[in-house]
Structures are given as C-alpha cells and as structure tokens.
Amino acid sequence: MAMDAADVKYIGKELGADLVGIASADVLNAHPPDPKYPQTPERIWPDCRSVIVIGTHIPAAAFRCPPGPLVQYMDMAVLRRMDRIAWKLSAILEEAGHAAFVTAAQETDWNFKRASYGYLSNRHLAVEAGLGTLGLEVNLLTPEFGPRINFTGILTDLELEGDTPITEQICIGEGCSRCLYSCPSDAVLHFGIDKRRCATEAQEFGYAQITGFFSKFLHTSAADKKKLMASRGLYGFWQGMLRVVGSFGDCPRCLAVCPVGDDYHAYLAEPQKEIPEKTPERMAKGNEYKEIRQTGGDAPGLNEWNVRWVGPEGYTGKVIKAQRQAFKQLQDVRSVDEETRETGLPVKIPPHGTVLNAELIKECALSFGTDLVGITGPDAVAKGWPTVAGAQDAADTRVIVLAQRMNGGSALITGWNNRQKYYNDELNLDALEGAASKLVTWLDDRGVPAIIIPPPDVDRGRWSGDDADLQTAVEAMAKAAVAAGLGTLGLNQQLLTLEFGPRVVTLAVLCNVPLATDTPQETALCKGADCGRCLSACPADAVGQWDRDWSACGSFRSPHGFAHFTDFLNRIIAEPDIEIKNSMLRSEDSFNIWLSTLRGAGVISGCHRCQDICPVGDDYDDMLKATLEEIPEDTPEKQSRLISLDLSENSIAYRNRAEWIGWLQSNR
C-alpha cells in the first residue's frame, strides 16, 4: 500500500502522538550532531531512507509537584506510552510493505563518548523533522510544549518527504536564562551543558551513580556494607531499575521554568514564576552570555556547525507569536462537539479552563481500558501524597481511582509461587499504567493538570530499611478505592469489589477540580467469620483480626523484592568461602532476582492466593470456584485460630476500621 508523509503523520496523530515530523536519512547522515561520534541512521541500518519522529508531551501537573518520585513516575509513563505509539506505527508501516523499527531512544551507546551519547540524538532528529530547536541548556524546545516533551524515532526504508527545519531560534536565550538560574547542579553553559554535573540530578539513580555507589561499597567494611544494603540510596537504585524511575533524565527544573510553550502560559506561569535557586552569581553569568551575543563576540557554545540546530536566524519571537495565536484560536473553537482521536467516543471538548464533569471523565477512563472508576475528595489523600501546586482551594483536590481486573486464568495455576502468575500480574499493572497515562494526558489537554499516584511505592524518602515501610502506599491506595465507592476492605485489609472481588490492580490520578464524588459502599463485601478463606490459604499465615502482618506477607507478596535482594547480598558478604560465594552468584536465587528486576514480575507482583480463593465477586462462581474451592494450605491450627478471633462488630479491631470494612452481616 502506497503511503506518503501526510499519511504517516495522520496515523501517528491518530495513535496518540502530539507531534509527528519526518527527517530525511540523507540529511541526518550528512549532519551528525558531533562529527567525532556519528549518530547517524546509516550506522544503524544502511537501507534507512527516512526517520519518522514522534513526540509525546509530559502533562503539566508533573511540573507543579515537588521534584521527586512522582515526577519521575509520570515521565516513565509518558516514555512507555511513546514507545507503544511508535511500535504501533512501525507495525502499520510493515503491514503496508515497508520495513520499520523503533530506535532505542532510552539507551546510550557505550562506544560513544563513554556512553553519554545515544545511538541517535532524539533532540537533533526533532530539529531536522521541523518540530523545534535547541535551547540555552540544549533541551529540544517546541513552540507548543517548550521542552516538556519526549521524542523517539522510527527508522524505515520508505522514502518520505522530509519536513523543513525551523530556522528561527525558539529559545528566548540569554535574555531569559531561567534554565541557567534554576539548574540545581549549575550545569547550564552557553548553549551547552556540563553533562557530568547535569547527570547528578537528571539521572539521580543512573548508571554513573550506581557504579559510584558500588565503588564505595567495595572499599568498606563488612559492617558498613550491611548498612549500605539497607540504605535509601540502594532502594532508589532498585526502583530505578524496576520502573526507570530516577534513572533516565528525570530532573524537572529546567523543563518546569522554561517560558516557551502554550502549556507554560496555561498552567505553569504562576507556580513557576519565582526561581529560588537564582543567585547573583548566576545572574552575572547570564548577563555575561548576553553581552557576548549583543556585542558580536564568540558565544562559547555556538559555532558554524551546531548553530544549525539552535536556529541560525537568531531569536525574533515570530514562531512563538504565531503559535500563541494558533493556540488561542484553538481554544475558541473547542466548545463544539467533536470525536476524540483516541477513543472514538462522542464527547464535548470544552475550552481551556472549563471544569469537566465526573461522568465524562469516568466514561473516558473506561474507554482507555480501565474496568472500574471512582472519585473521592481531599479526605482520601494520604499523608505523603502530593497536591497539585497552584490549586485555588485544597478542597478542590480529587482522587480518581482506577481499577483493572486481573487475569482470571492465571489464578487457576496451582501454587502461589509460579512465575507465570507474577508475569501476568505485571502485565495487568503495565496496562493500567498505560490507561492512566492516557487519562492524565486527556485531562491535561482539556485544562485539567493531573498526575499519577503509582501503585508500587516509589517514595524512597520513607525507606528506613524495614520492608513494612513499603506497605503505607498499598494501604493508602486501598482506602482511597473504598472512599471512591469501588468496594470495601476485607478481613486481610485488601480491597474487595462487587464485580471482581479482590482480583484487581489499582492506582490513582490526582487533580484539583471540584468533581462530584462517589459514595462509599455501606455494606461489607467480606463475609468475615463466615468465610475466613484468606486466612486458611495464606502461605505466610499473615491474616489477623481485620488486619495483616505486612512484614510476614512481604516475603510472599514480593518474593524477589528489595528485602530478598538485600538479604541475598548480605549472605554473600558474610560467606567466608570464595567458592560458595561464586556458586551463590550463579544460583537459581540470583537468576530469579535478575529476572524479577528486569520487569518487576516477582517484585511488584507475587503471591495472591488470598485474591485467588476469595468468593467475593461475580467472576468467582463463573470461572474460579470449580477449581479453587478446596484450599490445600488449610490446617486444623488455622481453623482453630480463625474461631478464636473476635471478628464481630463489637471488637476493637473492627471498630478501628469500620469505615473501610462496612457494616457486617449482623448489622444489616
């Protein structure tokens, strides 16, 4: 099937890309960013004729929260969504008879300047595709989103007409210097960046930092090694490897303060107006750079070669002015009905600043792939969860709780410790993260900045070396789901839903819009003392009196998680025999840790026997009951303990959690 550049761009936009451009492979081959290290398509694939460049913007709420894990998690969700879009587009090209593949956009080449360069430079791809120009801090700036956007490239043998690069400098330059003022590591040069200094913040838990950590580790005593095994630093590296949270370009400061882009003027101008990092010394540096440009001196970071990507015509403001006019015109016409490009649902797209209603948001969330949606208010915001900066009233905070049913087939696999179960659960979470990312972007496009509260706990600031620290986010998410009307808590404090029982994964989206909230369910879904199947099945024997022993549960719920990983390393450290050390390094234990770290299967997923055998939910009788009615783990001792527990409405344990459990049978 014949395809031209217009077809490719249309398909890319339909798949969800915010920007799509075409760069000619011949042009890219002739103009490598650094001639010493040719980041060119021909080096990867000589038959490449065109590179399709797609961009997905980072929702503005990420830059209205304090720097840290939530910003990094949102960035990760956007990167994954971008890769999915690119992969789909490459598949469509191949179906049409044109070879195509996605570049490894989130990797660098070990052979290029000590791995500080990628196989291709995404920033330079975007410039050659006519999507933007490089700024003072050499981020790629677009007229629409400033630097708050990620890019990737699709290499294809299809000859496509390349786009014309923007020749005006989009960056305001030395007269602005906000990126220079705000950089926490003072890494911004004159149209250049000190990569080493930048990496200490941008890749807080990246390769250089983790190798530095273990270099220190090797030179410490055994006692100090054990302390390092329980440190927040190691926990941060662990999370960075699991979800790319903190290990790949995640310092938000220069992105947050850049005044280029419609999103800045719509959402960020007020929250980011002041720059606390600004000092007289940095102002002097900015003025020095400005004087060099005004007097025609040699700008330290510019030369005849790289000015091509900064904008050889210099800054006039024409491109930005034209974009601002186009943006205002778009807002004027957004009050008419139109089809959304991602869902096909007929929705009313309001102008910027219009408050969306709860039903419309739920409708869209369901269309993006979630199974259950509920909304609750500020009282459900857990301690440690952020607020989206810039809210007019904290009472406007809303938590949109999303739930997706777990794969029922994997529950039928016998035994709790089967990796097929772990893998399917991680796929469920990945799909839910993708749906949440779509919802956040959809809200952001309609004037409602929002951010994802992740289901796995990524707040290393709370890590104290005790695995129980990880449960605060799990409990908070379950209670938020109850408050949003999705269900009630069970005997073991897991969320039970009417439709799927406990067989769901959940996450939350936080925004500041006064949406109508849902009413919590009053009647307990858990059958309590009349059932007790979760207590009977638990391999950790962790189920208590309307409670759970989270530490005991943790080694099963996350069998190859951080606690297991550090325990394994500590055992290697303590082992005096070098041969035994080597055998431990090449053991099934170490292999499972490695596999689990790659995707999170066995870390953020694990034992869910209590979910498998719970009789609550419409799905249990239909799919699970025939196979799971018998509980091999049950013992007379467990039955005796169940009988001894006071699970009535009069017990202190129940009264302490009654608002989350609901009214028991005896109260009905």
Rounded to 5 degrees, what are φ and ψ at 604?
-85, -5
H or E stretch including 320?
A: helix 318-333
Return the SS3 of 73: helix
pLDDT tens by residue, 172-202: 999 999 999 999 999 999 999 998 899 888 8
pLDDT tens by residue, 462-473: 666 555 556 677
Rounded to 5 degrees, what are φ and ψ at 97?
95, 15
Rounded to 5 degrees, what are φ and ψ at 484?
-85, 5
Question: Residue 485 and residue 106: Cα distance in Å, rounded?
Answer: 39
CA 269 to chain CA centroid, Å, is 24
What pLDDT is recorded for position 390?
44
Strands (E), 139-201: 140-141, 149-156, 188-189, 192-193
Rounded to 5 degrees, what are φ and ψ at 407?
-65, 115
- Positive or negative, the Cα torsion across 312, 315, 319, 320? positive
Retrieve residue 642's tokens.
Answer: 């169940």
Among 392, 378, 583, smallest CA distance to 484 is for 378
Looking at the DSSP bridge assignments, the partners of residue 482 are none
Retrieve residue 453's tokens.
Answer: 């509260």
Question: Residue 186 and residue 514: Cα distance in Å, rounded?
Answer: 39
In the chain, what are the domain boundaries? 5-197+249-312+321-333, 337-557+604-667
Retrieve residue 612's tokens.
Answer: 């498998």
What pLDDT is recorded for position 468?
53
Our separate counts of H helices and E strands in the chain read 29, 16
List alpha helices for 183-231, DSSP H.
195-202, 207-218, 222-229
Among 453, 512, 479, smallest CA distance to 380 is for 479
What pLDDT is recorded for position 343?
37
Contact yes or no for 238/564 (Cβ under 8 A): no
Query: Mean pLDDT for each consecutive 10-residue tract of the chain (668 residues)?
Result: 92 96 97 92 95 96 82 88 94 94 86 82 97 96 96 96 97 95 95 89 80 84 84 81 73 94 91 94 94 86 92 91 81 49 37 70 95 92 61 74 91 87 91 94 88 72 58 83 96 96 95 92 93 96 93 90 88 90 89 87 92 94 92 95 91 93 72
Where do we find the tokens 């009951």? 625
What pLDDT is recorded for position 586?
87
Q: Report which residue type is found at 30.
A: A
Record the pTM: 0.85
What pLDDT is recorded for position 332?
64
Pairing label, strands 133-134, 140-141: antiparallel
What pLDDT is recorded for position 355?
55
